[in-house]
Structure 1
């Protein structure tokens, strides 16, 4: 099925989100819509899917103009959409989620057998490996995304819109998704792939349309240079590498000794972690998602009081402190999920920028907030961190994902720090914002602060790290230098220790797991 947009415009009051967009998706192709956060990509997809009505312009399917009063009409016309934030009911099974909205009954009972058969057929055809009777909340994120794709295919979608589908996936899950997309294309489906990740776009797309501030700035082949695509996205040249000098070590020290944590279900999630980070260096923690990295950062922030061991910052043991006291002691924290742990969506941008300082004399007087000071602070930080918005009084939930992340980074890096802990600091962020956030992290390191980064993006790990610590099943497999070969890093992420690899094939990048000296 061929999708064509002709001069599609979408306005919200005086704000133009999409400005006379022309786009053609040919049958059996993957067409990427590439753009930075806030460029208008998701708005355009919601127009196509019937969630928004276009202010102007035309949508055509196989040459016939269509107007959709809602997603139901778009689905009946053959359009399916996988949203960036999954539209699944966590406590329902896969079959129940797929059937939702199109239920068949037998008497007074819900008849799911036909849905189960269709799920198995599609799962077998595309190698999805999805159990129809599995409860969604028990599934990994990558499998939940396959459930969303199955929902669309069960409804006979011929055009599949994938809105930032890799934003929450690990590198392995991302590769699996790209393979699935190629298979769907070969099966004759038309895919509209929305992203800002250049490697993925070039790997899977047949054609790339770049959108900037609501306007199409060009359509190119996937053979285009990544530097050209990046500059088209943001409107200026972008440095795709991180410029940083060799670390200059400061006096601050951060030390973890024999840190262990057992979950409420009796599973050991941290197993005797020893780690040292000097002031003025970045230690990146690498590993497949779910191997203890999340619990490590949460424990540092006082969220797991049952943990044992020691967490020492400048001679003071943080273990046993409240989260509030840890923050007040000078620890900055960028959580891995900004919407759950980093922001309060119903609060304004200006309020979110003082969540960790609202009770200081600068922003409060007794029980009352100094609204003028809070607003002035927000305007300064918005300018310094290039947070794109209409007003600092708007709800933070109205911002694009990248701008929400900038709010978190601005809040955490705008005060004196003794330690910065940043988990997935650029998850779901476009190339221009990644460059900016990396610069701010390196600047914090250059100011003499110990920095701990957790990232599942190996490109980010290599770009930022002065040393790399590898986690597997809650254990520290070793610490290596930033010149370690990717295959060795992959072996460590799969469970090989640095000592084992050193014995079999000595590498100068491998270090002792307990020594704090840099490579």
Structure 2
């Protein structure tokens, strides 16, 4: 059998946790092989070993049938192995070309001058060959997240990678970009490359992968043929029990208006109009979902409500009180909870412990501090309650550094922190981004529970399924304007898709 990479009986242990316990995975030449597992199951660790970022404690790696030792990422690159990480490693102020050639710059004039023109031409050719449509001279900060991901793929192709590891590549993409990525992966395979796709999205495994290796809590559960295995069967292998894909909820019983946004106009960081004359109500006991393609004003709305961005005009009321000019802390105190879109930039202080992160909004109050002195035992107790109830997995519990957790566990910690405070209005932005089916099921249950406790939930998500399943009412935005509000029980994906594209309901009817 022609295997391009074999990882045999890999074991890796970190302080207090066995991340990989005797895992075996074999990648055939020219296939897309999915690596499926829950958050913290050991997927990224295993691939970081293949990419030379970690060394295995036991086990062996073969590349093209020969046993090898991959001591660092440069060795992996030389062996034709490349990796696109979940959180991209790009320099914002550099151009696409500068990012791609970093570390292997082509030179002219006796090696003294960097030859960016030559590199730019080569990148343009590669971009055409694989259908990536990337502009080599654009600055990273000016291109979309989907484009940045293509730059990461080009970075590997430029270094002549034969095996491409994609770590949770669709977590940051819109539905359209996911389809595009599928097309790009098929092109890569056509050109003779082999791909390992780390994911926990079953729909995407069914759409793109040939075979799938499932790992659970660091152990290999098995490798299956994707075409002949159902999503339900793969989900059960992954979490060890049957998973319900349907969200169970009763009809909402809306109460008083909790959030009232009136004629809100907001400018974005580039000073152009991001929200224009936008009005919306969210009542106690209901979930209002906001549907729209990424970049249509959703983030600006959230930033205006939470106090991260100043409103140009219009007003925001919480429980009848005007909070438009209030500080962020005053808004938190008056009952706003916020699960932010970017967990690493906005949700956590990565170098703080998990316990410290759990009290970021309440540390100045009793029982967490008295007369300006922090009470560590109360903080730890509180953190442990959240960690247990939201199944946040980490090496050393409350004293683990936030950065040592897997992305999905970081997400669960933030959601736990915000729900634990029992806010009047919970703003949940992409709450299940990067979570596995078991965790998604649990988070959805908790959001509905929050609604049933008579609280208001504003849900912003790019997953249309999630918006349709969880929301009682759905508001659709396009280019910063409200296109319409519909009852979730009286609409379908097609109608919402049209409205997301800017077709108002009466025009489409």
- TM-score if structure 1 supplies the norm length? 0.95
Find the residue that maps to 2:455 and give its secondary structure.
Answer: coil
Superposition map of 1:183-262 within 5 A: 183-223=187-227, 224-262=229-267
**Conserved? CA contact 2:44–2:167, under 8 Å:** yes
1:430 deviates by 1.3
Q: Which residue in the other structure is 2:131 paired with?
A: 127
- In 2 relative to 1, CA 255–11 (structure 1 residues): closer, same or farther, beyond 3 Å? same
In structure 1, the residue matched to 2:77 is 75
Q: 8 Å contact 1:479–1:498 — kept in the other structure?
A: no
Q: 1:400 aligns with which of 401, 406, 417?
A: 406
- 1:285 Cα deviation from its structure 2 partner: 0.2
Contact 1:252 1:449 in 2 (8 A): no
Shift of 1:242: 0.8
How far, CA to CA, are the matches of 1:264 and 1:278 in structure 2? 30
The correspondence for 1:33, drawn from 32, 35, 38, is: 35
- Tell me which moved more, 222-231 or 200-209: 222-231
Secondary structure, in 3 states, of the residue corresponding to 1:247? coil
Deviations 1:132-181 (A, max 9, x none): 11111111011111111111111111111111111111111111111111
How far is the alpha carbon of 1:263 from its aligned partner?
3.4
Distance 1:463 1:20 in 2: 38
| Matched position secondary structure for 1:39 | coil
Gaps of 5+ in 1: 506-519
Residues 340 and 346, structure 2, Cα contact 8 Å, conserved in 1: yes
What's the offset of the Cα at 1:415? 2.1
Asked whether the equivalents of residues 260 and 309 of structure 1 are also in contact (C-alpha less than 8 Å), the reply is yes
After superposition, the Cα gap between the structure-2 partners of 1:265 and 1:144, relative to the gap in structure 1 and judged at 3 Å, is closer
1:327 counterpart (327, 332, 346): 332
In the TM superposition, what whole-angstrom CA distance separates every residue of 1:61-114 from its partner, at most 9, and x where no partner exists?
A: 111011012111111111111111111111111111111111122232111223
Residue 496 of structure 1, aligned match among 476, 495, 503: 503
Which residue number in structure 2 is paired with residue 104 of structure 1? 106
Residue 264 (structure 1) shift: 5.4
The 5 A counterparts of 1:10-409 are 10-107=12-109, 108-223=112-227, 224-263=229-268, 265-389=270-394, 390-409=396-415
Q: 1:252 touches 1:418 (CA, 8 Å); kept in 2?
A: no
Structure 1 distance, partners of 2:421, 2:167, is: 35
Please say if residues 6 and 63 of structure 2, whose CA atoms lie closer than 8 Å, have aligned partners that are also in contact. yes
Q: Displacement, 1:221? A: 1.8
Give the count of matched residue pairs: 502
SS in 2 for 1:426: coil
Whole-Å Cα distance in 1 between the matches of residues 422 and 125 of structure 2?
A: 57
- Alignment partners' CA distance in 2, 1:88 and 1:315: 44
Cα deviation, residue 252, structure 1 = 4.9
> CA offset at residue 13 of structure 1?
4.3
Distance across 1 between alignment mates of 2:39 and 2:208: 21
In structure 2, relative to structure 1, the CA distance for the partners of 1:131 and 1:294 (3 Å cut) is same
SS at match of 2:160: coil
Query: Retained in 1: the 8 A contact 2:82–2:163?
Result: yes
C-alpha deviation, 1:420, in angstroms = 1.0
Alpha-carbon distance in 1 for matches of 2:271, 2:500: 23
> What is aligned with 2:466?
460
Task: Give yes or no for the alignment of 1:430 onto 2:432.
Answer: no
Conservation of the 8 A alpha-carbon contact between 1:208 and 1:221: yes
Contact 1:251–1:448 at 8 Å: present in 2 too?
no
**Is the contact made by 2:34 and 2:209 (CA closer than 8 Å) also made in structure 1?**
yes
- What is the aligned counterpart of 1:476 among 475, 482, 494? 482
SS at match of 1:392: helix
* TM-score (structure 2 length as normaliser): 0.96
Displacement of 1:259 in angstroms is 0.8
**Equivalence for 1:510:** none
Return closer, same or farther for 1:433/1:243 CA change in 2, 3 Å cut-off: same
Check conservation: 1:203, 1:222, Cα contact below 8 A. Answer: no
Please state whether the residue corresponding to 1:96 is helix, strand or coil.
Answer: helix
- Checking the alignment, whether the CA contact within 8 Å between 1:50 and 1:68 is kept in structure 2 is yes
Q: RMSD between aligned alpha carbons?
A: 1.3
Displacement of 1:312? 1.4
1:316 to partner: Cα distance: 0.6
The correspondence for 1:410, drawn from 377, 398, 416, is 416
Q: Post-superposition shift, 1:40?
A: 0.4
Q: Who is 1:513 aligned against?
A: none
Secondary structure at the counterpart of residue 341 of structure 2: coil
Q: 1:65 to 1:335 in 2, by over 3 A?
A: same
Report which stretch shifted further, 343-352 or 261-270.
261-270
Measured in 1, the distance between the counterparts of 2:259 and 2:345 equals 27
Gaps of 5+ in 2: none
Q: 1:281 touches 1:450 (CA, 8 Å); kept in 2?
A: yes
Is the contact between residue 206 and residue 226 of structure 2 (CA under 8 Å) also seen in structure 1? yes
SS of aligned partner of 2:421: coil
Q: Deviations over 1:168-195 (max 9, x none)?
A: 1111111111111112112211100000
Distance in 2 separating the partners of 1:220 and 1:242: 27
